Structure 1
Amino acid sequence: MSEGTAQIGEKGKPASEALSPKELVRRGAVFFLLFALILIFGFAQPAFININNLMSILQAVSVVAVIGAGVTITLAIGGFDLSVGAVAASSVMAASYAMIVLDLNAYQTVPLVLAFGALVGLANALLIVRLKVPDLLATLATMFLLTGLQLIPTAGRSISVGLILPDGTKATGKVDPAFLTIGRSSLFGTIPLPVILMLVVALVLHILAERTRLGRLLYATGGNEAATRLAGANIARLKTFAYVLSGVLASLGGIIVAARVGRGDVSSGASLLMDSVAASLIGFAVLGLRRPNVLGTTIGAVFVGILLNGLTMLNAPYYTQDFIKGAVLVGALALTYGVSRGKA
């Protein structure tokens, strides 16, 4: 490419003039809103911008960001995984059951739970790829199946030390302290380990999706599956990879939750699906990419976390938070798509 060609931006304009004010607004919509939220909450409640509170926000959104990254990969192939919340909740129960009932340690429990997530993802892929069940229906069925299945071993009770099992016996195990460090420890006493895990997942998947041939094939599958197949890509393997990865990341999110609370709470995954999907959709607006991307999903999760934390600190009624969250999501997407409407 010649130097003169390299300096040409969109629609033949020089690179320095390629980005119009509307385009800048479109690309920076989420960042503008995020900055505005920080200013508003920080002005209304100075404790909001305290470093401990900011780290608390990042720790709270780490699970949503990790699970949302899996959803993003399935969106990239033109699919959608509705089972992630149920997988995460089941993983919370499975991890607690493994240690408290089966008396396993952390080094046995973590691989076992991650394998469970991979197995669920493989089952989703089997339904979608082999049996040709639409992805929404397949993962919805898996969601209902897991939601009921996780309650059966304990007869619907949460799992904690001293649990009385359905057969009348008492569980003798306990949560391994090494397992609790996953959700409760911090690097240098400041950065929570879940935040580090979130950043590692985001970085690895960003490189995978944006810088590798596999990532290009994943996006190509979502853009034009027929053309990608004709180009020689194995669509079945690509889709299987996406759903297995989504299941593993959902299980990782469940492990973080279990390590944080130290028990298997039957209601632990109640909002994880909707929050992770919201983060993934907000990710479309980051930098105006208008496509699923892991970096955008992570920023979207932080966006939602800052919004909810700020509303909580301002004592906003809990029943208004979902409405406000939805309104901000609509605003972010409207800025992203609406501003660019009418462009070539």
Structure 2
Amino acid sequence: MTTASGPVRNKAAFNLFDFLYKYGTIITILLLVAVFGTITDSFLSTTNIINILRSISIVTIIAIGLTVSLTVGGFDLSVGSIASVANAVIISLFVWHGQSVGVGIAVTVLFCLIIGLINAFLVINFKIQDMLMTLATMFVFQGVALTYTRGATVSQNMIMPDGSFATGQIPVLFGKIGQVPWIILIMLFVVAAVHMFLTYTKHGRYMYMIGGNREAAELSGIAVSRYRLIAYLVSALFAAIGGIILGARVMSAEVNAGSPYLMDAVAAAFIGYSVLGAGKPNALGTFVGAVLIGILQNGLIMLSVPYYAMDIVKGSVLALALALTYYKRSR
């Protein structure tokens, strides 16, 4: 015979899990702020808070694009490589060809949108799983960036293959994009715009329907292929913006500069699933996930944790986020 205490305990455990699922990320951020703020004197300073926001700006923008691809059941693993391509193209347009800021940004965005079209064409028409196809194109686009730059860093006054020096200059106006407050304002605008689009427009709701049940969405008359195409174009667009801002921040194009942002973007997007119990990819959750990663990195650096140990922490956070997400789905 079942006692009354049994069901009560089970219900309490269930409610506790739901509470941690909804608010665990936010509680973790508050705990980290409290711990790092207590251990280090400068962690809660205005300068350091701005540094954290600046440090997560690029990864947040790239992660937002990845989030859009996740809404339709996709998974664009090529965002880091697209950011590398954007970084290389825009800096080379300034340094090698002496183009203006407007032309440089327009050409770079157009080039990256073409990459997004390639991704969408391969995924939609060949019906290959999104993650597998974009894993392949990730290496292709990474190779494109390397081939285009000949494996060298693109910067002002660099030595060209013929032995001469590059004469183009990176515009001062372009450099402003990568500085405070513009880099932070651009990030916040992107997060707000995508949140409004996904939450309050019919197109955003259609994307969620496609990600939830593609066959049912097709039977409902939704143009599934068109929205999947749009998702990959948006993903490529934000990866391009991330690569452009990266170029403005460092004023050069390093080899595979965008690739390290992939892991952080994936972690931020999947952490966002559980924020406030959303249970789905969402812009605000992705931003909170990026904030969590940024606080972790900043705090660990202040505690003199070696840089090569950072991936252990980020990988553990991603594993925990995936465990929470998929365990919740299986219940």
Match of 2:314 in 1: 325
Match of 2:11 in 1: none
Deviation (angstroms), 1:332:
4.6
Q: CA RMSD in A?
A: 1.9
Judge which range, 290-299 or 263-272, deviates more.
263-272
Q: Residue deviations 1:28-65, cap 9 Å, x none?
A: 01001010100111111020110110111111101111
- Kindly tell me: are residues 64 and 154 of structure 1, through their superposed partners in 2, closer, same or farther at Cα, counting changes over 3 Å? closer
8 Å CA contact 1:69–1:246 kept in 2: the answer is yes
Counterpart amino acid of residue 31 in structure 2 = A
Judge which range, 257-266 or 145-154, deviates more.
145-154
Matched, 1:117 2:106: no
Equivalent residue for 1:236, pick from 225, 250, 266 = 225
Q: Residue deviations 1:136-174, cap 9 Å, x none?
A: 232122211111111223321100112222344432101
8 Å CA contact 1:29–1:332 kept in 2: the answer is no
How far apart, CA to CA, are the structure 2 residues paired with 1:288 and 1:86? 31
How far apart, CA to CA, are the structure 1 residues paired with 2:92 and 2:314? 34
Gaps of 5+ in 2: 1-13
Equivalent residue for 2:49, pick from 54, 59, 80 = 54
8 Å CA contact 1:61–1:302 kept in 2: the answer is yes
Match of 2:203 in 1: 214
User: TM-score under structure 1 normalisation?
Assistant: 0.88
**Count of equivalent residues:** 319
Equivalent residue for 1:263, pick from 252, 270, 288 = 252
Match of 1:77 in 2: 72
Q: Residue deviations 1:82-134, cap 9 Å, x none?
A: 10000001111111101000110111111111112211111101111123232
- Kindly tell me: are residues 165 and 341 of structure 1, through their superposed partners in 2, closer, same or farther at Cα, counting changes over 3 Å? closer
How far apart, CA to CA, are the structure 1 residues paired with 2:119 and 2:149? 25
Matched, 1:282 2:271: yes
User: TM-score under structure 2 normalisation?
Assistant: 0.91
How far apart, CA to CA, are the structure 1 residues paired with 2:190 and 2:81? 20
Matched, 1:101 2:96: yes
Counterpart amino acid of residue 27 in structure 1 = K
Match of 1:177 in 2: 172
Match of 1:11 in 2: none
Equivalent residue for 1:315, pick from 304, 308, 319 = 304
Equivalent residue for 2:290, pick from 301, 308, 319 = 301
Equivalent residue for 2:40, pick from 27, 36, 45 = 45
Match of 2:240 in 1: 251
Deviation (angstroms), 1:336:
6.0
8 Å CA contact 1:29–1:335 kept in 2: the answer is no
8 Å CA contact 2:88–2:149 kept in 1: the answer is no
The percentage of aligned residue pairs carrying the same residue is 39
- Kindly tell me: are residues 121 and 313 of structure 1, through their superposed partners in 2, closer, same or farther at Cα, counting changes over 3 Å? same
Judge which range, 240-249 or 127-136, deviates more.
127-136
Match of 2:7 in 1: none
Judge which range, 30-39 or 328-337, deviates more.
328-337
Match of 1:92 in 2: 87
How far apart, CA to CA, are the structure 1 residues paired with 2:318 and 2:218? 35
Match of 2:4 in 1: none
Deviation (angstroms), 1:236:
1.0
